Amino acid sequence: MKLNSIQPAEGSRSERKRVGRGIGSGLGKTGGRGHKGQKSRSGGYHKVGFEGGQMPLQRRVPKVGFRSAVNRHTAELRLYQINAMDADVIDLETLKKAGLVGGATRKVRLVNTGSLERAVTVRGIHVTAGAAKAIEAAGGKVE
């Protein structure tokens, strides 16, 4: 193979339209632009979302929603999910390895939902008051 023999795959590139070359071409006279109107003229341009002077949709519709950067990397975990894990020490790394939280997670909040049947040590994770009581009742501890 030589650099001068390289060609694109067959059918991957179509030839450009040659407009305004007579009626037989199918793109003569108006050149595929239709009749009259702003789009038919050279320099006929309007910005994206422009509705001819009518208030555009993106300005008519009210602004809704807010995504806090603080809570974006925070995951919520429940007590019954810890039961399925076989680790005795629960921290952010073991939760990521178990697939209970995503890789981008920076903070985990443990809430009191379900029950805990074994003693575990929770380290470096925010634990609600109810969850802390449940962990200590099961013989575990919160660090």
CA distance 36 to 29: 12
pLDDT, tens digit, for every residue of 12-28? 999 999 999 999 999 99
Give the pLDDT confidence of 24-55 residue by residue, as tens digits: 999 999 999 999 988 899 988 888 999 989 99
Considering Cα of 117, then 120, then 124, then 129, what sign does the dihedral take? Answer: positive
pLDDT at 3: 96
**Is the predicted pLDDT of residue 70 greater than 80, yes or no?**
no
Structurally, what CATH architecture does the domain formed by 74-142 represent? Ribosomal Protein L15; Chain: K; domain 2 (3.100)
Q: Are 100 and 77 in contact (CB under 8 A)?
A: yes
Name the residue ranges covered by the structural domains of the chain: 74-142
pLDDT tens-digit profile of 83-136? 888 889 999 999 999 999 998 899 999 999 888 888 999 999 999 999 999 999
| pTM reported for the whole predicted model | 0.52
- Give the percent of the chain with pLDDT over 90: 72
**Is 27 exposed, middle or buried (CB count within 10 Å of its CB: 0-12, 13-18, 19+)?**
middle
